């Protein structure tokens, strides 16, 4: 994950500013933004100086960006992942994470105030992302930024951490004393999952590259296995109550399934829905993805007595 820090913006003419009478809430009608006009490599991205800023809905917050991060989902979407869903909506503004300052609030927003430092993340399907001087998020997608964390640090947290939280708390429902295997603990989601699991009192084993071993051990993992140099099936001992597979290839799925206790949960970030929809179109692709997942669930429940779940990010919470 890369983090981009916002630079100062040249002041705009007063005619471009809108202000509610009797209120300190104000916002700009246009701003700089990085647009995706078509799918492709980094070269297709365009920095435009005057992209319209939509009016706020009652539950929305306008955030002046101080830092945003680049997630793997952003680069995959730029290359065409989810084409069947997003192509009709081009041009898009990519970006999920943001840290910044509240510039304006909708009429029903109660928990945040103008001038407050906040951080948060948009839903994966948002078409106006955070690669802009001003981003719009709903109130429940934001929270106050701790003073001890910089904007750059804060912008790298929400999307990955909330994905890990959903896997561990909503799906696996981890409890103190359980054993958890994180496949790919060196990445943003995996690293967040290690910390959340340790905080919940779980015993964590993880796989990662050699360069990440010291970092994941410092985060609380009890065992870190270098997947580039060691045989995972030989080195990793015992069974686990849950496996979070952030890699999601057939080999890691097979290993993860075989290392689970009966009644355990296998969770992967690599679902079939978007890929099959891109290949066959939404009317065929989505039912096909549902059928593939259902088949796996029946197969693994019968053969191993475990559950399998494909995860996506969920905002809020």
Tell me the pLDDT band of 9, cut-offs 50, 70 and 90. very low
- The answer to whether the CB of 199 falls within 8 A of the CB of 161 is no
Tell me the pLDDT band of 203, cut-offs 50, 70 and 90. very high
- The answer to whether the CB of 129 falls within 8 A of the CB of 122 is yes
Q: What value does the mean pLDDT take over residues 222-241?
A: 93
**Residue 57 token pair:** 């809905």
pLDDT at 312: 53
* Range from 70-84, 105-119, 186-200 carrying the lowest mean pLDDT: 70-84
Q: What sign for the dihedral angle of Cα 6, 7, 8, 11? A: negative
Instruction: Kindly compute the dihedral angle of the four CA atoms of residues 15, 114, 131, 128, in this order, to the nearest 10 degrees.
Output: -80
C-alpha dist (Å) from residue 197 to 153, 239, 271: 21, 16, 23
Per the DSSP assignment, residues forming a β-bridge with 226 are 208
Q: pLDDT > 90: what percent of the chain?
A: 66
Residue 273, phi then psi, degrees to nearest 5: -60, -55
pLDDT at 211: 95
* Range from 6-10, 22-26, 171-175 carrying the lowest mean pLDDT: 22-26
Q: Nearest CA to 125 among 314, 253, 265, 298? A: 314
> pLDDT tens across 245-266, in order?
999 888 998 999 999 999 899 9
* pTM of the complete model: 0.81
Is the confidence at residue 114, as pLDDT, over 50? yes
Identify which has the larger pLDDT, 5 or 305: 305
């Amino acid at each position: 994950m890369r983090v981009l820090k916002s630079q100062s913006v040249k002041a705009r003419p007063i005619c471009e500013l809108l202000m509610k009478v009797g209120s300190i809430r104000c916002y700009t009608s246009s701003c700089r933004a990085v647009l995706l006009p078509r799918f492709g490599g980094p070269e297709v991205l365009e920095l435009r100086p005057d992209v319209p800023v939509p009016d706020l809905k009652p539950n929305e917050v306008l955030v002046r960006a101080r830092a945003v991060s680049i997630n793997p989902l952003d680069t995959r979407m730029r290359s065409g992942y989810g084409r069947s869903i997003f192509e009709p909506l081009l041009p898009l503004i990519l970006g999920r994470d943001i840290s910044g300052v509240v510039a304006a609030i909708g009429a029903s927003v109660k928990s945040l105030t103008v001038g407050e430092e906040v951080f948060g993340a948009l839903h994966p399907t948002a078409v106006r992302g955070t690669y802009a001087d001003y981003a719009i998020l709903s109130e429940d997608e934001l929270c106050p930024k701790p003073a001890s964390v910089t904007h750059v640090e804060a912008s790298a947290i929400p999307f990955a951490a909330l994905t890990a939280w959903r896997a561990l708390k909503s799906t696996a429902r981890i409890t103190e004393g359980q054993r958890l295997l994180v496949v790919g603990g060196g990445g943003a989601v995996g690293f967040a999952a290690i910390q959340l699991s340790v905080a919940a009192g779980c015993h964590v084993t993880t796989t990662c590259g050699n360069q990440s071993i010291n970092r994941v051990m410092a985060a609380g993992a009890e065992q870190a296995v270098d997947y580039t140099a060691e045989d995972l099936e030989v080195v990793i001992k015992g069974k686990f109550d849950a496996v979070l597979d952030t890699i999601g290839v057939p080999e890691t799925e097979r290993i993860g399934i075989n290392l689970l206790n009966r009644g355990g949960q296998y969770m992967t970030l690599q679902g079939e829905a978007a890929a099959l929809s891109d290949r066959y179109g939404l009317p065929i692709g989505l039912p096909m993805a549902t059928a593939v997942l259902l088949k796996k669930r029946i197969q693994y429940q019968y053969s191993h007595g475990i559950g399998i779940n494909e995860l996506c990010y969920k905002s809020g919470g």
